[in-house]
Amino acid sequence: MFNNQLQSERANLTSLANTHTNIPKLRAGFVGGQFWSAYTPCDTQNKDAVKRTLEQIDVIQRMCQMYPETFVCVTNSAGIRQAFREGRVASLVGVEGGHSIDSSLGVLRTLHRLGMRYLTLTHSCNTPWADNWLVDTGEDKAESQGLSRFGESVVKEMNRLGVIIDLAHVSVATMKAALRLSTAPVIFSHSSAYSLCQHRRNVPDDVLRLVNQTGSLVMVNFYNDYVSCRQEATLSQVADHLDHIKKVAGAGAVGFGGDFDGVSRLPVGLEDVSKYPDLVAELLRRRWTEAEVRGALANNLLRVFEAVEQVSDHTQSPEEEPIPADQLQASCRTMYGYSEAPSLHRQPGALLASLTTVLLGLGLL
């Protein structure tokens, strides 16, 4: 909207209008933590997805710097709890779409170093290593039958790093493959219950049972089309999805996914982030216990995040095998590192020699 220019007066988060989220609305909704989506559209795949993802992460970090009294950027579960105590909004980076890593384990690791703590394996497009939800509608063709071998390496590396695996937007085959492979719980960051609204962005009951078995989490999306399968929806219908997931997968498997400012239509009664207390009140009317409500608000996600952190092991050797060259796309891509790539025209040892020269030169300064 503002081309990443946070200092524009129109982008002032204390007075920002015509959005679902601003600072006064966050305060009115008692929001204590937020994954901010570093999202870049599918048409950036094989082009400038990495650059644009880095720019989005930069925006999130600059937002925390510009409004330190409201936001604090954190990268772990302890940081979220500390932000709660300070009364600030714990702000984390979620990268929404596997195309943002450009089929590179090195990029995955670098985004983790920059603060990414969840990665959605696909957006609404296949990556060369994972299938998206449009495969289940027939609009896209299955290419990986869920996860390819490289896709499995991505999941394993996310486990090693401590990055939460997000299965919103993926195909059912990808859901099942990731749930079975991951050694840590996963999340659906913004998906609802397929049994209540037969939209392929939602989670079917057999997958909800796997969610239960793996201690994973479904964070309910408020988008009308995924709540009621119509253009209109209500707060009560969102609560129905929460009830259904609780019934099938357990109270520990339920969260709030919102998708505010990511969708065009929201239910009556949930028009922006200030309305969260009204949803809490509805759940209490439905005889949810205080512990169950606290779980949906924060504790279920914290449990998953802590489990992901416990599984991570940075002393373990990283995944290194690159994706096969024939699985990559786009004619503008160079192929350095693959056997068919043109030679870099350096003799063995030449790179080390050039580095030595630089280091010796620095030593003379």
Q: Same structural domain for residues 43 and 144?
A: yes
Counting the structural domains of the chain, the total is: 2
What does the alpha-carbon distance between residue 78 and residue 85 come to, in Å, rounded to a whole number? 11
Q: Same structural domain for residues 225 and 92?
A: no
Q: Same structural domain for residues 62 and 154?
A: yes
Tell whether 319 is covered by a domain: no
Q: Same structural domain for residues 156 and 46?
A: yes
Residue 76, classified by CB atoms within 10 Å of its CB into exposed (0-12), middle (13-18) or buried (19+), is: middle
CATH number at residue 284: 3.20.20.140
Tell whether 18 is covered by a domain: no
What does the alpha-carbon distance between residue 252 and residue 234 come to, in Å, rounded to a whole number? 24
Q: Same structural domain for residues 79 and 149?
A: yes
Handedness of CA 185, 109, 320, 330 (dihedral sign): positive
Q: Which residues span the domain enclosing 55?
A: 29-171
Q: What is the DSSP letter of 119?
A: E
Tell whether 6 is covered by a domain: no
Phi first, then psi, for residue 302 (nearest 5°) are: -60, -40
Q: Same structural domain for residues 33 and 167?
A: yes
**Whose structure tokens read 């195309």?**
99
Phi first, then psi, for residue 364 (nearest 5°) are: -85, -10
Specify the pLDDT at position 340: 58
Q: Same structural domain for residues 224 and 112?
A: no
Tell whether 355 is covered by a domain: no
Per DSSP, which regions of 81-191 are E strands? 89-96, 116-120, 164-166, 187-188
Consecutive 10-residue averages of pLDDT for the chain (365 residues): 85 92 97 96 95 97 98 98 98 98 98 98 98 98 98 98 98 98 98 98 98 98 98 98 98 96 96 98 98 98 98 96 89 78 49 42 42
Tell whether 243 is covered by a domain: yes
Tokens of 328: 């990559």
